[in-house]
Structure 1
Amino acid sequence: MPFVPSSQKTGLNGLLFRVLMLVPGGVLGCGLIVFSLGLLAFLSLRHNDGSLLGNGFTFDNFATLLHDPLYARVAGRSLLIAGLVTATTVVTAYPVAYFLAFHAGRYRAILLFLVTLPFWTSYLLRVFAWKIVLAYNGVLNSFLTSTGLLASPSLAFLNTPAAVVVTLAHAYAPFAILPIFTALENMPRSLFEAAADLGARPFATFRRVVLPYSIKGVLAAATVVFIPTVGDYVTPALVGGPNSIMIGSLIQVQFGRANDWPFGAALSVAVMALIALVIGLLRQTDRQMEKTA
């Protein structure tokens, strides 16, 4: 038997221990994901006969999705709203992350704590807060009428797609700030010195050095925000109107009042395919930027 040094033996035992510690959680997590996705795929190919799992296999659910223009319109609206939310969130989150990474100084820990503070409150409470702000007799209308900017309260703030975009952008802002902050925090400070030595102005340094270096954080933030907002149905129901119905609302109706689980599962599978397509495009964009960098 060959001699194995004690240090190498300890390293092998440590690696084996870490692998064994990861096995239970990995098996459980992967098993639940595979089971849930498999159940959705199974349900999407079943007839709706009023039972939980349907009866017989069919492609009629997907045929309905392809031939009924309602679902295409709602899916397009969902992608548009989610895209606007993602763009708004990333654009507003980037300056905050930049300040935290480069200018917060000794207050960085406190400011990071404040960024994560919304996680301590319920998502529904934050949506209801925006409903109070945007309502006919809400905070925003009261302020505008009291200052004379509006003669009477306006109905243009609540129950609109813009209200959905603003509410979702606020709710998911921390999810965008943290990945961008991490990317900027890991940026070597020597790059600033090199840019300054080459005569680059601050804006040129940001455009040619900081932004390309942090693009992975930006794409990660966009992915984290885009995926949940596509299927959101709580926010459109509370602050959106008839023109703000998203695909998640239709899925919720199929699993709820309509009691058509197979069709709801088909809708869910279609949404996952759309999200996978968008994520694939984001990854392709990331690869192209790496090649041109």
Structure 2
Amino acid sequence: MMSAPRFDAEARQGLAMVSPPLIYAILLLAAPLLTILAYSFFKDGYLEVIREFTLENYRAVWTDPVFHKIMLRSLGVAVAVTLATVLLAFPVAYFLSFVVKPERKALWIFLITIPFWTSYLIRVFLWKVILGHNGVINSSLTGLGLIDEPLGFLLFNVQAMVITLAHAYAPFAILPIYVALEKIDRSLLEAGRDLGESRLMTFWRVTLPLAMPGVIAATLIVFIPTIGDYVTPELIGGGKIPMIANMVQANMLALDNKPMGSALAITAMLIVTVVSLIFLFFNRRFLRVQQ
């Protein structure tokens, strides 16, 4: 009979500890999302928002060919950036986990996190300086006499956006993969080699499946913010290759159509959620086959 009051006291104490971050998360995450969701069902009265329930915004979004084109472009860029980032990050994480001496790993992690010291905007501007008409690459090639005039295809295209975004999100991909590789029991790899497996097959059958949680985390960490990136298409794309975030910004600010901008944002979030769930489904199938 004495356990119930003690349990209630522990429950109250735990609730008191959890309440501040929970309230903080609700205010900063849930409240804005619910506000955008509510706005997506309102009408645009040009001078003000009419708070009447309607599905016209979503009908307009799904029937708009411009939205279809920009959404497909955003998905394509996000997939390309994710593939490039993860494929480049995995060897770095593998080298850091299996080759670098334990006493030097902290130094390598420190070097990997150096890009976080500068603003994301500054890093994007640096790539504009590197790839620009009078940038580092063109100036170097012209100075070496390899080209007569600056190359015009280095900037303001999808390839430049992919390079910039892959560089910006590389540390986000390296660290989770490295953590997953560090958790692998090295005796499992030795057992595989003792059973006659080559290093390549040991990697494919043991290392990669055990590292997949890190790969999944890296993929989602890169894919989700990339598809909603606004700065890179504006600067590196020159505003000529808009992505879905630019379309949302145009409706929210330039056109002052908050209901339509909200409907675009919610629709994009749903599409990203579906794509992420599909990826997780196929990854589970992959792990099942490997097992």
Q: TM-score range by the shorter chain?
A: over 0.9
Question: How far apart, in 2, do the equivalents of 1:3 and 1:161 lie?
Answer: 64
Displacement of 1:241 in angstroms is 4.0
Of 114-123 and 198-207, deviating more is 198-207
2:135 is the alignment partner of 1:125: no
CA distance in 1, matches of 2:145, 2:8: 74
The one-letter amino acid paired with 1:42 is: A
Residues 2 and 65 (structure 1), Cα distance of their counterparts in 2 relative to 1, 3 Å cut: closer
The letter for the 2-side match of 1:39 is T
Q: Deviations over 1:57-95 (max 9, x none)?
A: 221111111222011000000000000000000000001
Contact 2:132 2:138 in 1 (8 A): yes
Structure-2 residue corresponding to 1:104: 100
TM (normalized to structure 1)? Answer: 0.92
Equivalent pairs, count: 288
Secondary structure in structure 1 of the residue aligned to 2:185: coil
Structure 2 CA distance, aligned partners of 1:266 and 1:74? 15
State the partner residue of 2:284. Answer: 287
Distance in 2 of aligned mates of 1:97 and 1:17 = 41
Cα pair 2:209 2:287 within 8 Å, conserved:
no
1:232 to 229, 232, 252: 229
- Output the CA distance in 2 between the equivalents of 1:206 and 1:150: 43
The answer as to 2:195 corresponding to 1:204 is no
Q: Which residue of 2 aligns with 1:39?
A: 35
Q: Relative to structure 1, is the Cα distance of residues 197 and 52 closer, same or farther in structure 2, using a 3 angstrom cutoff?
A: farther
The aligned counterpart of 1:260 is 257
Aligned alpha-carbon RMSD (Å): 2.1
Q: Structure 1 residues 58 and 219, CA, compared in 2 at 3 Å: closer, same or farther?
A: same
Match of 2:16 in 1: 20
Judged with a 3 Å threshold, the aligned counterparts in structure 2 of structure 1 residues 176 and 52 are, in CA distance, closer, same or farther, namely farther
Identity of aligned residues (%): 40
Is the alpha carbon distance of 1:104 and 1:19 closer, same or farther for their aligned partners in structure 2, counting shifts above 3 Å? farther
- Rounded to whole Å, the distance in 2 between the matches of 1:278 and 1:238 is 27
1:177-219 CA distances to partner (integer Å, 9 max, x unpaired)?
1110010010001012101201222222212211111111111
User: Residue 164 of structure 1 contacts residue 244 of structure 1 at CA under 8 Å; is this kept in 2?
Assistant: no
- Pair 120,272 (structure 1): closer, same or farther in 2 beyond 3 Å: same
> What residue identity is the alignment partner of 1:198?
L
Q: What does 1:1-293 align with in structure 2 at a 5 Å threshold?
A: 1=1, 17-50=13-46, 53-105=49-101, 106-241=103-238, 244-292=241-289, 293=291
Give the whole-Å Cα distance in 2 for the aligned partners of 1:28 and 1:165: 34
AA at the equivalent of 1:217:
G
Aligned residues of 1:179 and 1:217 also touching (Cα < 8 A) = yes
| CA 111–34 in structure 1, closer or farther in 2 if over 3 Å, else same | same
Structure 2 unaligned blocks of 5 or more: none
Contact 1:49 1:55 in 2 (8 A): no
Distance 1:254 1:115, change over 3 A: same
Pick which of 58-67 and 130-139 moved more. 58-67
Task: Give 1:18 shift.
Answer: 4.7
**Post-superposition CA distance 1:10-60 (Å, at most 9, x none):** x99778645531222123313543222211111011111145643422211
Question: 1:289 and 1:22 mapped to 2: Cα distance?
Answer: 37
Structure 1 stretches lacking a partner, 5+ long: none
